[in-house]
Amino acid sequence: MIRTHITALMLIAAVALAGCETPAEPEQPQLTFQHLPNIMLRVSDIQIANSSTQSVQTPHVAHRFPVPPVQALTRWAEDRLQSAGGSGRAKFSILKADVVETKLKTDENLTGLFKKEISEKYEATAEASLEVFDVQGIRRAIVIAGSDWTRTVREDATLAERKQIWFEIVEKLMERFNTEMEKSIRTHMSAHLR
What pLDDT does residue 108 have?
74
**pLDDT above 60 (res 175):** yes
Residue 79 lies in a domain: yes
> What is the pLDDT of the chain when averaged over all its residues?
88
Contact 3, 157 (CB under 8 A): no
b/e map 95-115, b = 16+ CB within 10 Å:
bbbbbbeeeeeeeeeeeeeee
What pLDDT does residue 90 have?
98
**pLDDT above 80 (res 165):** yes
Contact 101, 151 (CB under 8 A): no
pTM of the model: 0.82
Provide the domain limits for residue 96: 2-105+116-192
Please report which confidence band the pLDDT of residue 85 belongs to, taking 50, 70 and 90 as the band edges.
very high
Average of per-residue pLDDT across 14-24 = 50
Residue 33 lies in a domain: yes
Residue 28 lies in a domain: yes
pLDDT tens readout for residues 50-65: 999 989 999 999 999 9
Residue 148 lies in a domain: yes
pLDDT over 90 percentage in the chain: 76
Number of domains in the chain: 1
What pLDDT does residue 24 have?
54
Residue 135 lies in a domain: yes
Residue 52 lies in a domain: yes
Of 102-111, 144-153, 163-172, 176-185, least confident by mean pLDDT is: 102-111
Residue 111 lies in a domain: no
How buried is 58 (Cβ within 10 angstroms: 0-12 exposed, 13-18 middle, 19+ buried)?
exposed
Residue 110 lies in a domain: no
Handedness of CA 22, 26, 31, 35 (dihedral sign): positive
Contact 122, 166 (CB under 8 A): yes
In 10 A of CB 169, how many CB atoms? Answer: 22
Contact 130, 189 (CB under 8 A): yes
**pLDDT above 60 (res 8):** no
DSSP conformation class of 159: H
pLDDT tens readout for residues 107-124: 777 665 667 889 999 999
